[in-house]
Structure 1
Amino acid sequence: MNARISPDLVSEELIALTRRLGLPERDLVILAEGNTSEQIDDTTVVVKASGSSMADATAETFVTVDQEELLRVLRDPATTQDDLTAALTTQSGVRASIESLVHVAARAFGSKKYVAHTHPTDVVALLASVEAATSFALPVYSEEYMVLGKPLFVPYAQPGIELGRVFLELLEGYVAEHGETPSLVLLGNHGIIAISDTASGAEGISLMAVKSARVRLGARAAGGVATLDAETTAAYFDRPDFRARRAGLAGA
C-alpha cells in the first residue's frame, strides 16, 4: 500500500472545509475527532491524518491513499485490523484516519468529490437514543428533505475494518434500492457522514443534520415529533425546482 504525504495534492477547498467543520462554536467535533477527504482521480483519495485537529488542518495533515487498494482490503475477509493499520501508515509513520475505509466505501458505487465525517453533539444524542434507527427515517420539514435526502442508518460497529465492512454492505443495499449514494449517513452511537460533489455541499449537509437533530429534540420537548409522511414528499425529487435547489445546496 502506497500511503504517503503529498501536500501538493491537497486542495485549498479541502483545507478550508476541514477547518470550517472544526470550528469549536459549531460543535461538530472536538480534539482530534472527525475527518474529511477529497477524491483526486479514479484511484486517489486524500484523507485527514489520524490524531490531527480539523480546526488546524494544513496540507501536511492529510495522507494520500489508493482507493482501489483500500477497497480490496475492505472486501477481503482475511484482512485484519492490523493489516489495515499497516496499509494506512506512511513510511514516515504518519497514519491516515482509522476511518479511511468509510471514505473509500462512500465512493465504492460512484465518484464523490468530498466526504466529511463529524460527531455533532445533538445528532449523536439522537443516534445514541433507543430510537436511533428511526429518528431520521422521515423528514420533519421540506428544507431538511431537500438537503439531506433519504439518509442511510448504519448500526454501531467498531471504527476501522468492522465499520467499513458493515457500511459497505448497507450502502450497496441503499444504492440498489434508490439508485444513488446517500447524501447523509447516520452512524449509530457515533456520528455522521456527509457525501457531496462540492465542499459547500458537504458542509451544508453536516450543518443541516445538526439543525434537524435540534428540531427533533425541540419537538420532543414540546410533546412529540410530527414528521412529513412519504405521501406528502413523494413528488419532491421529481420537481425541477426541487432538484435544482438540492443540487445547489447539497451538491447532489
Structure 2
Amino acid sequence: MSALEASLLRLAHAVGEPQRELTILAEGNVSARLDDERMLVKATGSSLAASGPDDLVECRFEPILELLDDPTAFEGGAGDARVAQALMDARVDPAAKRPSVEALLHAVVLTSGAEAACHTHPVAANALLCSDRAELLVAGALFPDQVVVLGTRSLLVPYVDPGLGLGRLMRHELRGFADRHGALPKVAWLQNHGIFAIGASPAECLRITEMADKFARILLGALAAGEPRFLSDDVLDRIDGRDDEHVRRAILDAAH
C-alpha cells in the first residue's frame, strides 16, 4: 500500500467514526489525485469507517470529464445508465469495484487544482444546509481559528441531485469562485446535502472537515442564543495575513 493510499484511508476512517456525526452507513467519500490523469476514490456502497485498500478505486479523469463536457449527456433513464457506464469505464482495473456517482464531483475538484477531497454529511452542517439560514455558512467567520483553517471565504452550492448535473454545477461554481478570489475554496457547502473539503492532502481535508463542523456547531449555538456576530473584514484580513498564522498553517501542514 502506498503512502497516499494509507493517508487516504486514515482520512476515511477518521471522518467515518460514528461519534463525530459526520457520516453514517455508506455515506460520504474521499479522493486524492495521483497525477494529471488519475485519481483514487472510494467505491460506492463502502463504509468510510471500515474502508480498506480494495475500497479505493483508481480512475482516469478523461472518461468522466468527457461525459461532463458532452452536451448530449443527460440524467434519467438511459442517461443514468450512460453515467454509470462512464464511471465503470474510468476504472484503471476493470475488476475494481464500482466508483461512487460522486466520483463526478471528485474528478471536478481534483482537476480544478486540489490534491485531495473529502465529502461528508455532518449533522450540524446539514441542520443549517437544510434550513432557510444556509446562507449564513458563507456570511463570514466567527472566530480566528476558522480563518486559519478555512480561509476568509467559502462557497455555497445550490441543491442539485447528485450526478451529472451536480458535477457540472460544481465545476461552474468552482471556476467562478477561483476567478473572484484567486484560489479554490477550502470548503464547499452543498445545500440540502453536505460539505466538500478541498485540500492539498488528505490530512488537510481532515482539518478542514473538522473545522467546518466546529463552525457549523458554533453557528447553530449562536443562532440559538440570538444572532451570530461575524468578524469584520478588517479583522479577517489581519488574521489571514499575520505572520504567526502563516507559521501555524505551516506547522499543521508539516504535522501529517
With normalisation by structure 1, the TM-score equals 0.90
Match among 210, 227, 239 for residue 207 of structure 1? 210
Deviation, 1:198, is 2.1
Q: Does 1:191 align with 2:190?
A: no
Deviations 1:89-129 (A, max 9, x none): 2544831011111111112332x221100000000001111
Deviation, 1:88, is 1.3
Match among 4, 25, 50 for residue 56 of structure 1? 50
Q: Does 1:235 align with 2:238?
A: yes
Structure 2 unmatched ranges of 5 or more = 75-79
Q: Which amino acid aligns with 2:72?
A: A
- What is the match of residue 37 of structure 2? 43
1 or 2, which has the higher helix percentage?
2
- What is the match of residue 12 of structure 1? 6
Mapped partners of 1:166, 1:14: distance in 2: 26
Mapped partners of 2:203, 2:4: distance in 1: 17
Question: Runs of 4 or more off by more than 6 Å in structure 1?
Answer: 7-10
Asked if 2 retains the 8 angstrom alpha-carbon contact of 1:10 and 1:59, the reply is no
Match among 3, 17, 25 for residue 23 of structure 1? 17
Q: Which amino acid aligns with 1:17?
A: L
Deviations 1:37-85 (A, max 9, x none): 1111111101000111000100101211112332222122222333221
Structure 1 unmatched ranges of 5 or more = 1-6
**Any idea what SS the aligned residue of 1:195 has?**
strand
Match among 174, 178, 187 for residue 175 of structure 1? 178
Sequence identity of aligned pairs in percent? 36
With normalisation by structure 2, the TM-score equals 0.89
- What is the match of residue 77 of structure 2? none
Deviations 1:150-175 (A, max 9, x none): 11110111001111011110110001
Question: After the TM superposition, which residues 59-208 of structure 1 pair with which residues of structure 2 at under 5 Å, given as runs?
Answer: 59-80=53-74, 81-89=80-88, 91-92=94-95, 94-110=97-113, 112-149=114-151, 150-208=153-211
- Count residues in correspondence: 244
